[in-house]
């Protein structure tokens, strides 16, 4: 535990990658030991600032003190009795009696000062920070092309009842489970009937509102989670472009596309947001989703190391990238078409500030009320528009933001001319194999 923390806290790689690498190089650890190490590591990452402050009063290597605090929190102090000397046991007992309410909020919630300042300006910052420091549940989504949610829920309740599967409160496709089952070994996962996807991410599909036969672009497709749902809601008709600048990410998505049974997905690796293949689709797509690269602050329940890996200077660079991507994606939207901008962030500079800047510089677009669009489908989800902002403490999801824009319609003649050009644009696109033809590679880990 002390050694793996020493590697992760160098921040050379994301915590999940560093932990997986370390576990692969220690194959002699049993399944229970691996699980306990992982749980304790993530506890330390969630509470790192507070644990470091507690550790200042101890003795010995700092990484050992952090390991003791993480293991004590996850296994109980009594489980460490044989492994600690008298001084360590006395120190652990002493720091365990500290009243957390006496600590500054940033220390109590273990967040950096810059993030405390931003979250502190939001409604109910205490409950938000507490929620971000809690472990997230496991959110699954059924493949609506293959199975109904209620039928799958019954199947999981019968076969995996110990994980307490329940229907999600909002998503019509979602199932929420407790614990960490190895679902990548389940037949329902292997045959493409279920995928891992946070409920907030699932709801983005309702904002895109895809229809059969349309041309749709998932501009930052990543590992393909949202692409899969959009394609299924299109009933595998039309054409769904999955753009990403990372060939590795799209390669990991291809086995998922193959399992899903979709035949309308065209993965395309682009050089940048200004790739010539993007420009060829100018004004052709009925719907474009931009799930933009962002700080990921809304996902701290799952990726607690992000609050230590991010910094304000990086946010400024991300903001410039988000603006460029959104501007480029907007050019692909047909007159009367829809553009959805989304992030898994809670920070205004990545969210509503970007949306307002886009509107100010694009008079050919108008904003739709994203909250009203969701309310029309989900009566129990109450949001204040015009944007969607989901929070873990309020909605039980990761932190998600979404804005919806519509391109103003041109005259009928101009619209007819662009429709006639759509076939030419498709003919110019590279001949990537549709998903049904993609060879399924090694089992990937769903995002």
Buried b (16+ CB within 10 A) or exposed e, 51-88: bbbbbeebeeebbbbbbbbbbbbbeebeebeeebeeeb
**Angle in degrees, 0-180, between the axes of helices 370-377 and 199-208, rounded to the nearest 10:** 100
- Give all strands (DSSP E) within 17-171, no chain letters: 138-142, 166-167
Asked if 291 and 230 touch (Cβ cutoff 8 Å), the reply is: no
How far lies 376's CA from each of 159, 206, 207, 209, 382, in Å? 34, 10, 11, 12, 11
Alpha carbons within 13 angstroms on the beta-carbon side of residue 8 total 32
Q: 271 labelled as ligand-binding? A: yes
Q: 275 labelled as ligand-binding? A: no
Active site residue 344: yes
Nearest to 138 by CA among 160, 109, 113: 160
Helix (H, G, I), strand (E, B) or coil at 55: helix
Pairing of strands 174-177, 138-142: antiparallel
**Residues in CB range of 422: below 8 A, 6 or more apart:** 215, 284
Q: How far apart are CA 118 and CA 114, in angstroms?
A: 7
Catalytic residue among 220, 294, 332, 344: 344
Q: 366 forms bridges with which residues in the sheet? A: 406
* Torsions phi, psi for 267 (to 5 deg): -75, 135
Q: How many C-beta atoms lie closer than 10 Å to residue 412's C-beta?
A: 8
Residues assigned a catalytic role: 344
| Bind-site residues | 244, 271, 291
| Bind-site residues for S-adenosyl-L-methionine | 244, 271, 291
């Amino acid at each position: 535990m002390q050694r793996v923390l020493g590697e992760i806290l160098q921040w050379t790689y994301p915590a999940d990658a560093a932990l997986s690498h370390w576990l692969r190089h220690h194959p002699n650890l049993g399944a229970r030991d691996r699980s306990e190490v992982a749980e304790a590591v993530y506890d330390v990452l969630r509470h790192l600032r507070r644990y470091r402050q507690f550790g200042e009063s101890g003795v010995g290597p700092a990484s050992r003190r952090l390991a003791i605090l993480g293991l004590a929190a996850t296994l109980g102090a009594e489980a460490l009795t044989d492994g600690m000397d008298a001084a360590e046991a006395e120190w652990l007992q002493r720091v365990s009696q500290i009243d957390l309410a006496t600590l500054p909020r940033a220390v109590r919630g273990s967040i950096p000062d810059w993030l405390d300042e931003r979250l502190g300006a939001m409604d109910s910052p205490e409950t938000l920070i507490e929620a971000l420091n809690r472990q997230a549940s496991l959110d699954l989504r059924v493949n609506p092309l293959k199975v109904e949610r209620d039928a799958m829920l019954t199947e999981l309740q019968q076969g995996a009842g110990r994980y307490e599967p329940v229907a999600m409160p909002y998503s019509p496709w979602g199932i929420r489970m407790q614990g960490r089952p190895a679902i990548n070994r389940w037949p329902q996962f292997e045959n493409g009937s279920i995928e891992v996807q946070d409920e907030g991410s699932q709801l983005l599909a309702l904002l895109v509102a895809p229809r059969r036969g349309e041309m749709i672009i998932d501009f930052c497709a990543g590992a393909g989670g949202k692409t899969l749902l959009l394609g299924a809601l299109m009933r595998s008709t039309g054409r769904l472009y999955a753009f990403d600048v990372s060939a590795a990410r799209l390669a990991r998505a291809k086995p998922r596309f193959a399992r899903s049974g979709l035949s309308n997905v065209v993965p395309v690796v682009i050089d940048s947001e200004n790739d010539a293949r993007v420009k060829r689709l100018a004004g052709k797509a009925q719907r474009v989703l931009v799930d933009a690269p962002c700080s990921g602050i809304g996902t701290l329940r799952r990726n607690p190391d992000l609050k230590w890996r991010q910094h304000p200077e990086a946010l400024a660079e991300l903001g410039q990238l988000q603006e460029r991507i959104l501007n480029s994606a907007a050019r692909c939207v047909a007159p009367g078409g829809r553009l959805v901008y989304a992030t898994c962030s809670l920070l205004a500079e990545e969210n509503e500030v970007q949306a307002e800047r886009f509107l100010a510089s694009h008079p050919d677009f108008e904003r739709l009320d994203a909250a009203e669009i969701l309310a029309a489908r989900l009566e129990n989800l109450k949001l204040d528009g015009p944007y969607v902002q989901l929070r873990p403490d309020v909605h039980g999801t990761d932190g998600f933001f979404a804005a919806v824009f519509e391109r103003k319609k041109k005259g009928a003649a101009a619209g007819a001319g662009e429709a006639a050009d759509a076939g030419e644009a498709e003919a110019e696109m590279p001949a990537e194999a549709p998903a049904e033809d993609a060879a399924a590679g090694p089992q990937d880990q769903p995002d």
